[in-house]
Structure 1
Amino acid sequence: MTSTPLLICLAVLADGLAGLAGGLLSERWMSRHLSALVAFAAGALLGAVFLDILPEAVATAGPVAFRWALASFLALALLEWFLGPHHHDHSHHSPGHPHHPHPGHAGLVGSPSTVVPSLLAADALHNLGDGAAVAAAFLVSPQAGVATAMAVIAHELPQEVGDYALLRATGLSRPRALMMLAGVQLTAGVGAGAVLLGSKLVEGLEGIILALASGTFLYIGATDLLPDLRRGSTPQEARGRLLGFLLGMALVAVAGLAERQVLGTHP
């Protein structure tokens, strides 16, 4: 068990680094490959849900895990219906041109004094949930932890690129935008720490959180990211998205298979 907190810390750290990718990678390269990254994230999220996270949740919490997963899925759907859509349409966003607002946060476009706090608050809550999901997964098994961390990081890349571009669109400099994004990444550690503490106080908490993460990841992958696969201005772009989707799912599947071989466990 002594290695579990270390694994959680490493996974949260990797997630935090992924959150800064928008400013560390070439904006031209990201502009050309962002749609494929979104498709990759969709494949990784859906693959992780059905191949690792949800099965682990059911094995840990029992059939009630399906109800928790459905509850989180419906909660996100209702939230969108009442607050307005927040579809993460990254495919038509160019990080190399920061004056184009991030479509995934179209409702936030306005003065910098409104956009920046709203964006950072939403990002902080998102990272809080990611950290909690990663910690719960590692507490269940290393295999579930690796799969969840991969899914979180895969989704983090295109989302944070869009967030970085929106911060730049408000007039923030590159260092200041990166500093703000780095600050909100710390909430992932808060979420992970809360789960580590809560798991000692609430029996079966890990299975419940994994089930909630399953519903959340399923909603994000199926409604926010997967529809982008059907959009493509050129056949080459459409092929890139399809390849990215298949690679994301294959990566999760291969990682899970390798983990089972190393640990000597069974699917």
Structure 2
Amino acid sequence: MDLLIWIIIFSILGGLLSVIIASSFLLLPTHTRQHAVPHLVSFAIGALLGASLLGLLPHAIEHEYVVDPHIIGLTLLIGLLSFFLLEKMVLWRHCHSHHGHEHIPELGEDHHNHHHEQPKKTAGALILIGDGIHNFVDGVLIAAAFLTDVHLGIVTALAIAAHEIPQELGDFVILLHSGYSRRKALYFNMLSSLATVVGAVLGYFLLADMQHILPYILVVAASSFIYIAVADLIPGLQSKVKPSETLQQTSLIAAGVIFIYLAHSTLH
């Protein structure tokens, strides 16, 4: 199959399908969603860490364009610091800060305390704009992974889809609280998710003739995944400290890692 077709299919999987699955959770009772979201987050943490540490970084190091491992490490560090600064600038934060149940207004207390003074409609618009940017970047990362190796592209898209589902669920809840109807929330979220496809297609054409920079793009993707998992998702689980809850979280994180490992090894 033509590589561009692969990229389009899996960028749709990483974006549009995640929105559809997340929207289906809105049909569930609130209590069920309260119970489900932390489990989805735990699994997403494992998928993100697995994709970055078992897939993206090894492929960056083993790329045909040999890269100094020290440069790989430096790029990873710069990537982590860059996402920290982006989050500080509120260009990235809202895309991930509502993964934990305590961050979803319907499931806990105030979401976006730093936006509490803004009108609800404005907050909803900011969510959509930020998600569009985030989805576009995801698309570029999917394209870079596919240009390196089809199997890596599939694993990267699966990891993105895994963490997009709880994210999109949180977005739906926020949009509903911002005054959007269910139909409009679904429509605008699906529209925003198409930015993944746009980013993937542009990434394919822009990066196809720049193979020498692909290792660095893979490292940036890995730093994004690691930052999201460690800085944004894991803290949201720390409020649950009972041994049984910790065991459950650890098991689901491990399940996410194993899922990526099996997907990667099976595809190869």
Q: Report the TM-score, using the length of structure 1 for normalisation.
A: 0.86
Q: State the Cα distance separating 1:201 from its structure 2 match.
A: 3.8
Any idea what the Cα deviations from partners look like across 1:81-106, whole Å, max 9, x if unmatched? 455994625333487x7486773x44
The size of the alignment, in residue pairs, is 257
Q: Does 1:17 align with 2:25?
A: no
**Secondary structure, in 3 states, of the residue corresponding to 1:231?**
coil
Given that residues 44 and 256 in structure 2 are in contact (C-alpha distance below 8 angstroms), is that contact kept between their aligned partners in structure 1? Answer: yes
Q: State the Cα distance separating 1:113 from its structure 2 match.
A: 3.1
Whole-angstrom distance in 2 between the partners of 1:106 and 1:162: 15
User: Which range is displaced more, 114-123 or 79-88?
Assistant: 79-88
Given that residues 56 and 152 in structure 2 are in contact (C-alpha distance below 8 angstroms), is that contact kept between their aligned partners in structure 1? Answer: yes
2:62 counterpart (34, 59, 63): 59
Determine the structure 2 residue equivalent to 1:264: none
**Secondary structure, in 3 states, of the residue corresponding to 1:171?**
coil
Query: Structure 1's 54 and 106: CA in aligned 2 closer, same or farther, altered over 3 A?
Result: farther
Determine the structure 1 residue equivalent to 2:79: 72
Pairwise mapping of residues 1-267 of structure 1 onto structure 2 (< 5 A)?
2-15=1-14, 16-25=16-25, 26-28=27-29, 29-60=32-63, 61=65, 62-63=67-68, 64-81=71-88, 86=93, 88-93=97-102, 98=106, 103=111, 105-109=112-116, 110-232=118-240, 235-260=243-268
RMSD: 2.4
Any idea what the Cα deviations from partners look like across 1:183-227, whole Å, max 9, x if unmatched? 111111111112111123434232222111111111111111123
Over 6 Å off, 4+ runs:
none
Given that residues 143 and 204 in structure 2 are in contact (C-alpha distance below 8 angstroms), is that contact kept between their aligned partners in structure 1? Answer: yes
Any idea what the Cα deviations from partners look like across 1:67-122, whole Å, max 9, x if unmatched? 32222111112233455994625333487x7486773x443343123202211111
Q: Any stretches of 5+ residues in structure 1 without a counterpart?
A: 261-267
Equivalent AA in structure 2 for residue 6 of structure 1: I
**Secondary structure, in 3 states, of the residue corresponding to 1:27?**
coil
Q: State the Cα distance separating 1:146 from its structure 2 match.
A: 1.7
Whole-angstrom distance in 1 between the partners of 2:39 and 2:264: 23
Q: Report the TM-score, using the length of structure 2 for normalisation.
A: 0.86
Q: Percent identity?
A: 28
Equivalent AA in structure 2 for residue 41 of structure 1: A
Q: Any stretches of 5+ residues in structure 2 without a counterpart?
A: none
Query: Structure 1's 161 and 172: CA in aligned 2 closer, same or farther, altered over 3 A?
Result: same
